[in-house]
Chains A and B, each alone.
Chain A
Amino acid sequence: MPLVFVILSALLIASAVGVILFRNPIHSALCLVVNLVGVACVFAALEAHFLAVVQVIVYAGAIMVLVVFVLMLLNSKTEERTLSGVIQLVLSGIIGGCLVSVVGPFIIEQWPIVAREEPPISGSVEALGKVLYTDYIFPFETAGFLVMAALVAAAMLAKTKGGDPNHPRISEGKNDGTIQAGGEQ
């Protein structure tokens, strides 16, 4: 087993467990950031360099900043640890462990470790771009439309209805369709 894989998988599993065990949402989010950067390292180890960088830009740089931003904005409280919660955690942990121990051997059997002669393909920008803009042009455009639609939907959902943006509950009145300065951006 290569050393890089051992280190990375230890980091990934530890941070993933951190995400679900930390009771403070911000600590969970920071653990997830570590996990996402670790996944980027896995991509780099698998010679998908473009995906590795895009993973950091999109996940760690955009999505998780947004999540942390919302967590700070809403000032999420630390979850209390109840007895039922602990029982849930233990039970689902046992079920998850069973799943891994059942499916795991099949995976090892399915893709045995082989030595290969030819160098593996590398996910360089040029190679990926060629495939993306020829074979996958239609899904690519569709994904673009999807992101656009999500953007518009998010803007509509998060918009305050006039009034004082700092007191969203007093916004039952008329809707003049403007976003106030310093309000929800």
Chain B
Amino acid sequence: MGAVLGIVIKGFLVQQVTLGLASFCTWVERKGSALIQDRVGANRAGTNLYVGEFLKTDVFLLKPFAFIVRNLLLRPAFAVFRFLGSIGVINTLLNDALKALLKEDFVPAGTNLFLHALGPFMAVFPVFLAFGVIPLAPDVQIFDTVIRFQVAEISTGLLFLLAMGSIAVYGVVIAGWTGNNKFSLLGALRAAAQMISYELAMGVVFATVVLHFGTFDLYRVIEMQGGSIANWGVFFMFPTGFLCFLILFIVGMAETKRGPFDLPESESELVAGYFTEYSGMKFLLFWLGEFAEIALFAIVLATFFFGGWHIPFVEFPAGEWWAALIGHAVFIGKVLFFCVLQITIRWTLPRFRYDQLMNLGWKMLLPLSIVNLIVAAAVKLSL
């Protein structure tokens, strides 16, 4: 019973982390793109809506406390909201969500209602599930119980990530098919072809990583990268580890269907690709799933190649709560760095042509990753 309760609490917390990371990515996407494109960007909407209107009116039930409420509560709140509004947080996180919730849920004629609702669900579900096997910080020992910051302590965590990555295609495919629309269908076809093609290179890279670490357990993978910076995944058997990182980074951008790889939803050709026929909250779910995927890939990169929660040359005592706290901060910091990096690339590079995309996947990344695997195996054997 206690174990089940613990898993439920951990699952809830991890979901909050996921949503937080996705929200952060949304904000960086909106405000960061404005910075990159030299626009002023989202900077004022929503400032008055939540607090300002209250400040103007005089309708307070507690007349005697009006002065206190106004000056000690509402004015500071107003200042905070105005600051958040000026950096675009209110606009992207509160207003957009509210708008999506209140919008009409449009379903195209002649389609299957159940499948139409299943599409966005399947776009979000596997990504959120994949977060369950990620260990976020070193273990903490409280009295006799050891708490691990990982929802599912399974020994095949790495394979589970791969499995969830391959399930994620269905959301897109179902969405594109139930759109009853040529543009959606074309987007779904492109997405399926692209994701399968790039999954091959991803599988081979994961094999190389497993070859180095010798385990599928993500906690063990991070544990092995402690101590010197030379233990980090990027530096293993020098060129191979770095190549793995490079290939996985490119594959990650292709798997999230963003950046230069956004052919499935290229708005200049296919309106919005596979989610053309979605509106309101269902549309927002695709959006959310996409950003959660970005965060997931950032987490995978930080876990395999950049030492997870480890700071180079710093060893924390095992089982201390403050070590876990610092571990969380370091890990999330690395993840945020990779999120911002991916979004920056997405707003910098132009879109690939379709043949370029396929050539990159099949003729460059796949052979490169296979050669990389063979070299890594040979080096590992000779050591």
Direct A–B contact in the complex, CB atoms closer than 8 angstroms:
yes
Residues of A within 8 A of B (CB): 26-27, 30, 33, 49-50, 53-54, 56-57, 60-62, 65-66, 68-69, 72-73, 124-125, 181-182, 185
Q: Which A residues lie within 8 Å of B101 (CB)? A: none
A61 touches B193 (CB 8 A): no
Which of B86-94, B102-110, B156-164 has 4 or more CB atoms under 8 Å from chain A?
B156-164
**Residue from the set A60, A72, A182 with the largest chain B CB neighbour count within 10 Å:** A72
As a 0/1 sequence over residues 183 to 221 of chain B, the CB contacts with chain A under 8 angstroms (1 = contact) are: 001001100110111010000000000000000100000
Known: A60-B166, A69-B189, A181-B354. A125 touches B196 (CB 8 A): no
Q: Which B residues lie within 8 Å of A65 (CB)? A: 166, 169-170, 173, 192, 195-196
A181 touches B154 (CB 8 A): no
Give, as a whole number of angstroms, the nearest-CB distance from B171 to chain A: 12
- Taking a contact as CB atoms closer than 8 A, the residue among A56, A69, A125, A181 that contacts B163 in the complex is A56
Interface size, chain B (Cβ < 8 Å)? 32
B192 touches A68 (CB 8 A): yes
Cα A185 to Cα B185 in complex, Å, equals 16
Q: Which A residues lie within 8 Å of B188 (CB)? A: 72
B199 touches A61 (CB 8 A): yes
Q: Which B residues lie within 8 Å of A182 (CB)? A: 354-355
A57 touches B358 (CB 8 A): no
Closest A residue to B185 by beta carbon equals: A72
A62 touches B163 (CB 8 A): no
Closest A residue to B196 by beta carbon equals: A65
A66 touches B196 (CB 8 A): yes
Q: Which B residues lie within 8 Å of A26 (CB)? A: 177
B115 at the interface (CB under 8 A from A): yes
A62 touches B196 (CB 8 A): yes
Cα A68 to Cα B274 in complex, Å, equals 15
8 contacts between A and B (CB under 8 A): A27-B115, A57-B166, A60-B166, A61-B166, A62-B166, A72-B185, A181-B354, A181-B358
- Taking a contact as CB atoms closer than 8 A, the residue among B159, B170, B353 that contacts A57 in the complex is B159
Cα A49 to Cα B155 in complex, Å, equals 9
Given contacts A57-B162, A68-B192, A73-B189, 17 further A-B contacts (CB under 8 A): A27-B115, A30-B115, A49-B154, A56-B166, A62-B196, A65-B166, A65-B192, A68-B170, A69-B193, A72-B185, A124-B155, A125-B156, A125-B216, A181-B353, A181-B358, A182-B354, A185-B193
Q: Which B residues lie within 8 Å of A49 (CB)? A: 154-156
A30 touches B160 (CB 8 A): no
Give, as a whole number of angstroms, the nearest-CB distance from A43 to chain B: 12
Q: Which B residues lie within 8 Å of A73 (CB)? A: 189
Give, as a whole number of angstroms, the nearest-CB distance from A10 to chain B: 19
Cα A54 to Cα B159 in complex, Å, equals 8
